[in-house]
Amino acid sequence: MQKHVMSAGFGAIVFDVLEQAGERHLKETSPCLHQFFLFQIGGAGTVRRYDGSVAYWDRVQATLDYFFTAEQRAAICRELLRRADFDRRPEFRGFWARAVAERRVAELIASAAVAASMVSRPLPIDAQRPD
């Protein structure tokens, strides 16, 4: 019985975090997409019913991938960790590893973009050498 209560609590936490993310990132800019998102996370109750499986987190990942940017997904994952000890649960590890990898790739892309913009900037006229 304790496992079921704990699982229900985890499902409620995940649902709450996702619902808040939808409010923040989708409701104003894309109300139709927001409605579809709410149906995805709440319609069949699959997010609310935490079953302690890897498949549960695969469903959460697929939902995040479809509706949110990489930066938004990283923030949602941080919020999930802040709200519950998911990182101690074995079924969460694959989900978390993908989130960390995605965040690192996003940071590398941002760093590369900054470096590329610095290289492609022309030197000020007084710093250029005459030919």
Q: Over the stretch 5-17, which tens digit does the pLDDT of each residue have?
A: 456 689 999 999 9
Full residue range of the structural domain in which residue 99 is found:
2-119
What is the rounded CA–CA span in Å between residue 95 and residue 60?
9
What is the rounded CA–CA span in Å between residue 34 and residue 80?
20
Closest CA to 80 of 131, 68, 29: 68
Most confident of 112-116, 121-125, 127-131: 112-116
Residue 127 lies in a domain: no
Place of tokens 């409701």: 27
Residue 131 lies in a domain: no
Residue 31 lies in a domain: yes
Residue 126 lies in a domain: no
Residue 96 lies in a domain: yes
Residue 103 neighbours by CB under 8 Å, 6+ apart: 70, 74
Residue 128 lies in a domain: no
Residue 2 has pLDDT above 60, yes or no: no
Least confident of 28-32, 53-57, 91-95: 91-95
Residue 125 lies in a domain: no
| pLDDT tens digits, 69-122 | 988 998 898 888 888 878 788 998 899 888 888 878 878 888 888 888 877 666
Q: Is 56 exposed, middle or buried (0-12, 13-18, 19+ CB in 10 A)?
A: buried
Residue 129 lies in a domain: no
Look at the chain and report how many structural domains it folds into: 1
